A and B are shown apart, each in its own frame.
Chain A
Amino acid sequence: MGQWAGYLQLIFDGAIVTIQLTLMGSALALVMAFLAGLGRLSRFAPVRWLATAYIEFFRGTSIFVQLFWAYFVLPLFGFSLTPLQAGVLALGLNVGAYGAEVVRGAIKSIGKEQYEACTALNFNRWQGLRYIILPQAFVLMLPTFGNNAIELLKASAVVSLISLADMTFQAQVVRAQTGSTLVPFLTILVLYFAIACVISFAIRGLERHLTRGLDGIRS
């Protein structure tokens, strides 16, 4: 039993890398989702085109290919990235593209009367967005954002293939050293599931917190 403690430690070290990746990737994804999602609703056609191109490109190519591109091809153009940077970049940009459609959908689903209210209150576009539209739209985005964060967590397993020591990578190390396959893989499956449960629990809590003031406004 003593030897397993050491191997379990390895897997926990990997879990920390996975959690780091998930948090940093989600932060980048959130920023990109709002930039591209609002970009698609812009008044200026070039901004709309740029946002659409970003979304279609990152949704259209596989996350795996994007990661390899970031890690192996970008250095040839002079941008050398560490595996962690490449991982965060690829995961954040990929999931951000999915999130952008969520942002756009949520903002478009806000009723016309809310926009008329912005005009009636003499808010400019930014004020209307900030004080009236986004507080309502953000609540609609949250559940899907939660799903996207779980997708990002799952996609983060791919970084083990560019030699970043995340949970999946460490499980492979343990497998190579002990010859046991069931224990390490079952352990990380359970850990991934536990992290996914924490994410969906946290998002549900946040949703309850944010909708508290909106009772009776939304049906």
Chain B
Amino acid sequence: MEWDWAFVIQILPTLIEGAKITILATLLGSIVAAIIGLVIAIVRRSKNRLISMPMGFVAEFIRGTPLLVQLYFIFYVLPDLGITLSPLVAGVIGLGLHYGTYTAEVYRAGIDNVARGQWEASKACNLSARQAWTQIILPQALPPMIPALANYFIAMFKETPLLSAITVLELMNQARSIANYNYRYIEPITLVGAFFLVISLISVFGLRWLERRYGRID
């Protein structure tokens, strides 16, 4: 088998269509993961053990099981319960839920890193719990978390090919259908690999920048 540049040019537009969906799924998944992670982290801090313990177990369970099976679960089981989701929506929820359990740990570490005196200060200023969170704790806790969060979003980006298993027409799925149709595997699969490698290498530099900008805790 030889590498065929003409074939590469011919399949490139289809792959770019797929790449758009891959990037869209990553962006939406990141937003969902950021929100779910925050919810899990705050619920796990609850003083009421009846609330915090089950949440902890659910988060551990999601983290201990494969994303692929979770995607199948969301895509195939929920319709039986009357909830039908489009493949992309199911994929974004799956990615967001799975990585939400990881980002929850980032939030937890970030919140624990805020000095105790800050909590006492907000109590001394007679702030309500809500005010303390939004005005005092989160503004200090969030910036140092940014590099760690970005790290998980890059990891999520590399997991998006799994969405092809639930029929999302993202990059990997486009490449597979091209490969199966033309019976040429070298070019499409290698191009997908190259695409991920290039984006990952670029994001490593982006991550270093974020670490310099936000990573330090003064």
Query: Does A57 have its Cβ within 8 Å of any Cβ on chain B?
Result: yes
CB distance A76 to B185 under 8 Å? Answer: yes
In the bound complex, how far is the Cα of B188 from the Cα of A72, in angstroms?
11
Query: Does B121 have its Cβ within 8 Å of any Cβ on chain A?
Result: no
In the bound complex, how far is the Cα of B161 from the Cα of A61, in angstroms?
11
CB distance A189 to B77 under 8 Å? Answer: no
The 3 closest A-B pairs by CB, nearest first: A157-B66, A60-B200, A196-B64
CB distance A185 to B69 under 8 Å? Answer: yes
A154-200 residues at the B interface, CB under 8 angstroms: 154-158, 160-161, 168, 171-172, 175, 181-182, 185-186, 188-189, 192-193, 196-197
CB distance B69 to A60 under 8 Å? Answer: no
A194 CB to closest chain B CB, in angstroms? 9
CB distance A171 to B161 under 8 Å? Answer: no
Query: Which B residues are CB-close (under 8 A) to A63?
Result: 158
A-B contact pairs, 16 of them (CB 8 A): A56-B201, A57-B197, A62-B161, A64-B159, A65-B189, A65-B196, A73-B190, A76-B1, A76-B185, A76-B186, A161-B165, A168-B66, A185-B77, A186-B73, A189-B69, A193-B65
In the bound complex, how far is the Cα of B66 from the Cα of A61, in angstroms?
18
* Known A-B contacts A61-B193, A65-B192; A196 and B1 likewise in contact (beta carbons under 8 Å): no
Tell me what chain B mostly uses at the interface: helix, strand, loop, or mixed.
helix
Query: Which A residues are CB-close (under 8 A) to B162?
Result: 64, 158
Query: Does B7 have its Cβ within 8 Å of any Cβ on chain A?
Result: no
Q: How large is the interface on A (under 10, 10 to 19, 20 to 34, 35 or more residues)?
A: 35 or more
CB distance B69 to A69 under 8 Å? Answer: no
Across the interface, A60 reaches (CB within 8 A) one of B72, B161, B189, B197, namely: B197
Number of interface residues of B (CB under 8 A): 35
B205 CB to closest chain A CB, in angstroms? 12
Most buried by A among B61, B69, B76: B69
In the bound complex, how far is the Cα of B159 from the Cα of A155, in angstroms?
10
B176-207 residues at the A interface, CB under 8 angstroms: 176, 179, 185-186, 189-190, 192-193, 196-197, 200-201, 204
B1-28 CB contact bits vs A (8 Å, 1 = yes)?
1000000000000000000000000000
Query: Does A48 have its Cβ within 8 Å of any Cβ on chain B?
Result: no
Chain A residue at minimal CB-CB distance from B78: A181
Chain B residue at minimal CB-CB distance from A75: B185
Query: Does B218 have its Cβ within 8 Å of any Cβ on chain A?
Result: no
Query: Does B67 have its Cβ within 8 Å of any Cβ on chain A?
Result: yes
Query: Does B68 have its Cβ within 8 Å of any Cβ on chain A?
Result: yes
* Known A-B contacts A192-B64, A196-B64; A66 and B193 likewise in contact (beta carbons under 8 Å): yes
CB distance B77 to A158 under 8 Å? Answer: no
A95 CB to closest chain B CB, in angstroms? 13
B73-92 residues at the A interface, CB under 8 angstroms: 73, 76-77, 80
B122-158 CB contact bits vs A (8 Å, 1 = yes)?
0000000000000000000000000000000000001
CB distance B159 to A62 under 8 Å? Answer: yes
Query: Which A residues are CB-close (under 8 A) to B68?
Result: 157-158, 160, 168
